[in-house]
Amino acid sequence: MFNEFARYEDAFKQWCQDGYKTSNPETYRYIDFLSDPSNDQAPREGTLWPHQWEAFLRVVYCYEVVGKKTIGLHGLLLNIVTGGGKTADIAAIIAWLKIAHGIQKFVLLCPNLIVRDRLEVDFEKGEVFKDRDLLPEWSPVRSRDFDLTTLGSDKSGGWASFLGASIILGNIHQFYLSNISGKSNLSALMNGPDFVLFNDEAHNSPAEEYTATLQHMENKILLRIDTTATPDRADGKTPDSDMIYEYNVNDALADGLIATPVVYQPDIKTVELTYTDALTGITKRVEEIDWEEVDRKGLSATQWVTDDKPMRQQMSIALKRIKEQETRAKGRYQPILFVVAVCKKDAQKAASTLNKIFKIKTLLVTEDSEEEDRKQARELGRKQKTTDPYKAVVSVLMLREGWDVPEVSVILLLRKFSSKVYGQQVIGRGLRKVRTKGVKQDEPQICAVVDHPKLEHNWLWEIFNCRIRENVSTEQSFDETIDLPPPPPKQEIAHPELVIDMPKELEDYKDDGMFEIQTEEAAEPVQNWIAVLEGLEYSTETIEITDVQIRSVIGKELTGKKWKTYTSPPELPPGSNGVEITVTDDIVREAIKERLLEMAEQLCVSSGYAAGFRGEVYSALIQHIRSKFLMGASLGLAEEKSLEYAWRMLDQVMDKISRVPGLIAGIIEYADK
């Protein structure tokens, strides 16, 4: 995303050096209050961190010097890394606007309950203003003046509280016109005084109704501030606000603000494959092959982390990392393993494996989890001082932005990421440093990420500019005080006067030279698509990874000197071979449904149709599955054996259907005919 502030950098720096000249004397007094008494170009200790100070000053400069019509017509965006303290900036901006401009109303929007609950803790009773010493004695404004109401919370004071509160906190969905309460909330907001809007985790905002809601509010918004750590979405869209400050992972590492990420992957020698009849469950044959020959077998990427033996080996690698992290913690805190699965079936299997085989107390959190489990996940860090703490939490992308548990020291990936946004958000859960009694601010900390080469996450590690250090012995232990290299230098614009403005309409344009575009004619939609589907034939032979011989585990440090080190292969708990972990029929049913919905969307897009047509394709797929694998039974009534059969065959179904030209087009075009 283009930094709209780059063209103002020179003038901004001069403004700072000239003493923050502004027509508003209260603004100058407030900046002076936050400044270091011995250096007015730096923040006072105990208030804002240096990068928060930079972000805050840029907001002031844009609002008072440049003006909203020139920059920030639809909002100003602060792109600050996870763990970079976006909330403190929000609080400082609120305090400044109330003190210097007399603004009385502030609205904090967030995308989910986890983010909302975190913000509620920070702003309740003005805690963040007191913690960061953001209110000067010379101002009549006190922390009690920032009364908070949280929409949908048990702490909400109802309609009267909504109208009278200084700070309104809620999910964006609570202002949607598509629901009655949303209409009511939006009406109350629009009939009240003008307000300042904070759009936290703004990368969620391109959703159609999200955008429409922000547009409805626009006439009443005095200033909109968007905050996010990942402004660029997987769908190529970005928030409509102007980015004015960027503080990324490398900047935070250079300042020692976040933990250093280290990626661990198994170095595999041979693989044992077991061929099984999916219908009968009878083993046909067993084959051992070299790692270099694996690709020709057509195994799915997730099999390497979800089949029994590979999953347990990956878990063993992760638990060894937890032991290392516990040694570093020295009893001051309890390091936590965070496991990320792709679906509820895999998540339940992972949680059961950790609980039953590895004897690790594990919390499972999915969209079906009880509120008590979600609450425990949100408060996990605080619970670690109990006598029987959780050491692991398993999630299906439920715990992303807003879930801030600094004790997360190891992340185990049991899924493949195709989205840069989700990938960075998940890794971000482990970047926040532990700040507790006895832990020095400059103490080096690492976040160990257990990955698998077949998940093909190199693109994610390249975000950190991963390189390799050679000639490190196999058994060399890792010592973060010695082995962690100096942080990378911060990247700064040396000559802002040379920055060239890029027109917004050309921002994403890439000129690859002159060439002729050759387009393939789309296949005609298949009218008799039902008969074509029925005519598809499947092999009942499925492949399972039943043994993996690992030479060693390779660790890659992603910043600084970019070394590579080797450690011993993982050891599984005695007697764990042959022990099966089963999941309930209901979980398998849900997994089949989720996978079919995902397949339907992928097939729509790959056939040139909008994802909105996935309903028609899903209906066709579910009927096909019933006919071919469930003996005509519905998904809800199918027996366990049939459900397992269907689950094993889904990858083959996807492959077969995607190979028939015009089949998906036929389903969409002729579904109702």
Percent of the chain at pLDDT above 90? 36
Q: Is the pLDDT of residue 443 over 90?
A: no
CB 448 within 8 A of CB 321: yes
Q: Which of residues 435 and 78 earns the better pLDDT score?
A: 78
Other beta carbons within 10 Å of 593 = 16
Residue 436 pLDDT:
82
Q: Where would I find the beta strands (DSSP E) of 558-602? A: 564-567
Other beta carbons within 10 Å of 32 = 14
Average pLDDT, the chain: 83
Residue 85 pLDDT:
84
Mean pLDDT of 298-323: 90
Mean pLDDT of 75-83: 87
pLDDT in tens, 105-154: 999 988 777 777 778 888 988 899 999 999 999 999 999 899 888 887 66
Residue 385 pLDDT:
57
Extract the tokens encoding 449: 């990420």
Q: Is the pLDDT of residue 208 over 50?
A: yes
For the chain, domains (ranges, CATH) are: 6-247 (3.40.50.300), 260-488+542-567 (3.40.50.300), 582-670 (no CATH)
Q: Which residues pair with 108 in a beta bridge?
A: 169, 198
Q: Which of residues 632 and 281 earns the better pLDDT score?
A: 632
| pTM attached to this predicted model | 0.77
Q: Is the pLDDT of residue 410 over 90?
A: yes
Q: What DSSP state is assigned to residue 294? A: G
Q: Which residues pair with 169 in a beta bridge?
A: 108, 150
Q: Is the pLDDT of residue 576 over 60?
A: yes
Distance CA 471, CA 437 (A): 38
Ordered alpha helix ranges (H), 150-227: 158-164, 180-190, 208-217
Residue 203 pLDDT:
60
Q: Is the pLDDT of residue 245 over 80?
A: yes
CB 411 within 8 A of CB 431: no
Mean pLDDT of 186-195: 89
Q: How far is CA 235 from the centre of its chain?
A: 15
Q: Which residues pair with 543 in a beta bridge?
A: 275
Q: Which of residues 13 and 475 earns the better pLDDT score?
A: 13
pLDDT in tens, 12-69: 999 999 999 988 999 999 999 999 999 999 999 999 999 999 999 999 999 999 998 8
Q: What DSSP state is assigned to residue 258? A: B
Other beta carbons within 10 Å of 24 = 14
Extract the tokens encoding 356: 């039953």
Residue 435 pLDDT:
82
pLDDT band at 469 (very low <50, low <70, confident <90, very high): very low
Percent of the chain at pLDDT above 70? 82
Mean pLDDT of 75-86: 86
Residue 470 pLDDT:
32
Q: Is 207 exposed, middle or buried (0-12, 13-18, 19+ CB in 10 A)?
A: middle
pLDDT in tens, 334-381: 899 999 998 888 999 999 999 999 999 998 887 666 667 666 766 675
**CA dihedral angle for residue 66, residue 68, residue 73, residue 79, rounded to 10 degrees:** 60
Distance CA 651, CA 655 (A): 6
pLDDT band at 473 (very low <50, low <70, confident <90, very high): very low
Extract the tokens encoding 334: 């309890």
Alpha-carbon distance values, 649 to 332, 413, 538, 540, 657 (Å): 48, 24, 8, 8, 12
Q: Is the pLDDT of residue 488 over 70?
A: no
Q: Is the pLDDT of residue 159 over 60?
A: no
Q: Is the pLDDT of residue 171 over 50?
A: yes
